[in-house]
Structure 1
Amino acid sequence: MEFKGFTTKLVHADRLLNQPQDGAVHQPSCNSVLFEYKRVEELVDIFQGRQAGHAYSRQSSGSIDALQNMLSHMEGGIGALTFASGMAAITTSLLSLLKQGDHLILSQFLFGNTNSFAHTLRGFGIEVSLVDVTDVTLVEAAIKPNTRAVYLETIANPVTQVADLAAIGALCAQKGILYMVDNTMTPAYLFDAKEVQASLLVGSLTKYIAGHGHVLGGAVIDTGLYDWTRFPNINPAYQSQPAHLWGLIQIKKKGLRDMGGCLTPQSAHAISVGMETLALRLARSCENAIKLANFLSNHEKVAKVYYPGLCDHPQHQLARQHFKHYGGIMSFDLKPGYDCFAFLNSLKLVLNATHLGDTRTLAIPVAHTIYYEMGAEQRSKMGISDNMIRLSLGIEDIDDIVDDFAKGLDAL
């Protein structure tokens, strides 16, 4: 039976897609590292891709397959792979698909760790261009004959720039370029990645998908829209399989298997349970975010609020076009003369913590923590001031959240 509602589908996905034994509504955690086959021919067929099955839990297990099925179903994809963290998913995918002499276009607004990884790629002989992805003409101008992929985030962290998603998707489709979209901030409940012709969805499961700050994970999901026969780097050994699977096969073999950033069965189980309330939590976080953004934007001690839901946000119309809600993260600058440390230390409800997508509201001084290594010059290019505070809105009652911020600002 095909259900219409997003949450209905997620709540029942595990039992219907994966059909656990004994009437269980969740796939049990499979803690075996190895898998026995009575006939060695079966094991050989699994190794050589002629038969579905598990050879070793670093590559797959029943727990991992169950979560991957749910993620692919949620995003309308043809398959998914899971990893030990979002960064493992990102780095593994790029290293598996790119080689020396290739060119990669990255958003210049990428999260600090992903941005840092660009330097690692350059060290491997992969050319990287950092581009303002809010303007498709700048992306088009950066394309070269050896451009293999464009990688961006839907909503950037922490300044909340929104990429020109549909226009870039159309450009990549026209040029035959792989379009990799990090939708950590906007999972399927908020954003339909297939509408903008995304090829691969890459990102963190730690944040909104799992949702409770208790488990790490990452994923790559193939939307089925990219023609892998146009991608020149596929290993000939994998081309005996159906062409639409080439990308995931190469990431699984060269990345997950060879690099080893695998998700544990226990983590997979925790993430799959957290997914069930994704829409409920996201809706509440987004509702809280727009209300707090309006409060802060009208406060006399706040210089600027960065949130796509505000009408004065540079990409507000793009956000309205693509997202069901405007997301649960924002940033703001205190006016000159006010100490962001003093403000953060005065908060009673809000946690000073580096995380996103939690049930709790979180705050962090950006320049001094997650973007400290980047240096002042690069922070300035990204629009990050020394007084910027990033927030991730939780699901608490909005009156309590606003009251905490009001008292903290009044104390300055």
Structure 2
Amino acid sequence: MKNLSPETRLVHADRLLNRPQSGGVHEATNNSVLFEFEDVQGLVDVFQGKKAGHVYSRSSSSSAVSLQNILNDFDKGVGAVVFATGMAAISATFYSLLKAGDHIVVSQFLFGNTRSFMSSLENFGIEVTLVDVTEARNVEDAIKANTKMVFCESIANPVTQVSDLVGIGELCQSKNILFALDNTMTPHTLLDAKKVNASLLLTSLTKYIGGHGNVLGGVVVDTGLYDWAGFSNIDDKYRVTDISQWGLTQIKKRGLRDMGATLAPQSAHQISIGLETLSMRMSRTCANAMALAKYLSTHKGVDNVFYPGLLEHPQHERAKALFNRGYGGILSVELDASIDVHQFLNQLKLIISATHLGDTRTLALPVASTIFYENGAEQRKKMGIRDSLIRISVGIEDIEDILADFDQAFETLIK
């Protein structure tokens, strides 16, 4: 059936794309590390890339491929590679495609761990320039003759700056620069990344796609929009017949096979199950986040609320044009100076203090003293992160219960 809605297609994707054996609606989990070949020439052909197949589960397995098929179909790409975590997908992709002497332009608002990874890249001789990606002209001003890639997030975590995706995409396309986008906060149900000319999509499957706080995973999807023939860092042995596969082939070989951050078969299965309800969960999450943001924006205990759905958000109109069915599930608040951040979080009864996000449960944490602590006060200031900032990942609970929990916490601490 060709005209299924995206929501229906997600529910039936495993069955329709992978055709599980014995009439199953889910691909069976394959825990075999090795794979037998009756004719050794078949083993040789798979090793040399002359035919598709599995030789060792660190590099590929039927469980991983079935999930890759679903995720690639989800974003209408030309291929996908899954990894053990989202950070593994990012690090493997960058280490596979970049080399000493290259230059990349990245968002100055990057999530803490990703920003820390940029320091590791610099240790390998890759030049990194951090810019304000809410305006494409800042990216353009930073581009050099050796610039290989531009990298940003669709919505920044935690202050929710919305990148100038259209402008950056057009800029990269005009200069034949790879545009890598972390769309963890806005999976395809919210953002069609191909419409902004993103080349590679890097996503933490641990978050909204898995969605239930019980599995780790990451993926890189090639949208098929980038011409790899113009990317000089592709090794000759990975320049396969199909040019559209050059980038992914090198990522698979150097990033997955050589670095070994393999997604476990059972994890692949769990993620595919989570995908089935993604659209429904994101709809509820976005609605709850909007309601909570409005509530907090008028509360006397709050100085500022950062959420793209609010009219006063600096990139609200851009978010309205970009995102299909909501503004995401992340918002951040700066509490009034009279309220101790840690005391407030300890007072919450339903909301969980945790470092995760994109879960079915609502989570909250103090940003400066946790996930951005290693960045230091000076960098946090540039990123707009104050000591009073709390990040909230909104879940799918009844919104009245979420609001009631905030109500009781404020009532206890505001005299």
Q: TM-score range by the shorter chain?
A: over 0.9
1:47 aligns with 2:58: no
TM-superposed deviation, 1:410:
1.3
Give the AA of the match of 1:409: F
TM-superposed deviation, 1:3:
3.5
1: distance between equivalents of 2:109 and 2:231? 26
TM-superposed deviation, 1:338:
1.1
**1:304-324 Cα distance to aligned partner (Å, 9 max, x none):** 000000000000011001002
Partner residue, 2:174: 174
**Is the Cα contact below 8 Å between 1:307 and 1:330 reproduced in 2?**
yes
TM-superposed deviation, 1:251:
0.2
**Is the Cα contact below 8 Å between 2:240 and 2:246 reproduced in 1?**
no
**1:57-106 Cα distance to aligned partner (Å, 9 max, x none):** 01111100000000000011111000000000000000000000000111
Partner residue, 1:348: 349
Provide the alpha-carbon RMSD of the alignment.
0.6
**1:13-66 Cα distance to aligned partner (Å, 9 max, x none):** 101100000000000100000000011000000011111100110111110000
Partner residue, 1:62: 62
Partner residue, 2:335: 334
Partner residue, 1:260: 260
**Is the Cα contact below 8 Å between 1:333 and 1:389 reproduced in 2?**
yes
Q: Determine helix, strand or coil for the equivalent of 1:246.
A: helix
2: distance between equivalents of 1:238 and 1:95? 15
**Is the Cα contact below 8 Å between 2:133 and 2:163 reproduced in 1?**
yes
1: distance between equivalents of 2:308 and 2:375? 24
Q: Determine helix, strand or coil for the equivalent of 2:373.
A: coil
1: distance between equivalents of 2:107 and 2:319? 17
**Is the Cα contact below 8 Å between 2:351 and 2:361 reproduced in 1?**
yes
Alignment of 1:199-348 (within 5 A): 199-324=199-324, 325-348=326-349
Give the AA of the match of 1:382: M
2: distance between equivalents of 1:135 and 1:113? 23
TM-superposed deviation, 1:337:
2.0
2: distance between equivalents of 1:65 and 1:137? 39
Give the AA of the match of 1:343: F
Normalising by the residue count of structure 1, what TM-score does the alignment of the two structures yield? 0.99
2: distance between equivalents of 1:114 and 1:382? 14
Partner residue, 1:388: 389
1:117 aligns with 2:139: no
**Is the Cα contact below 8 Å between 1:3 and 1:9 reproduced in 2?**
no
Give the AA of the match of 1:54: H
2: distance between equivalents of 1:59 and 1:278? 27
Partner residue, 1:4: 4
TM-superposed deviation, 1:351:
0.3
Listed as ranges, the gaps of 5+ residues in structure 1 are none
Q: Determine helix, strand or coil for the equivalent of 1:100.
A: coil
Q: Determine helix, strand or coil for the equivalent of 1:375.
A: helix
Partner residue, 1:379: 380
Normalising by the residue count of structure 2, what TM-score does the alignment of the two structures yield? 0.99
TM-superposed deviation, 1:409:
1.1
Q: Determine helix, strand or coil for the equivalent of 1:174.
A: helix
1: distance between equivalents of 2:240 and 2:154? 34
Give the AA of the match of 2:76: G
Give the AA of the match of 1:337: S
Listed as ranges, the gaps of 5+ residues in structure 2 are none
Partner residue, 1:409: 410
Partner residue, 2:130: 130
TM-superposed deviation, 1:6:
1.4
Partner residue, 1:362: 363
Partner residue, 2:96: 96
TM-superposed deviation, 1:240:
3.3
TM-superposed deviation, 1:335:
1.0
2: distance between equivalents of 1:337 and 1:293? 20
**Is the Cα contact below 8 Å between 1:67 and 1:272 reproduced in 2?**
yes
TM-superposed deviation, 1:4:
2.8
Runs (4 or more) in structure 1 with deviation over 2 Å come to none
TM-superposed deviation, 1:135:
0.6
TM-superposed deviation, 1:242:
1.1
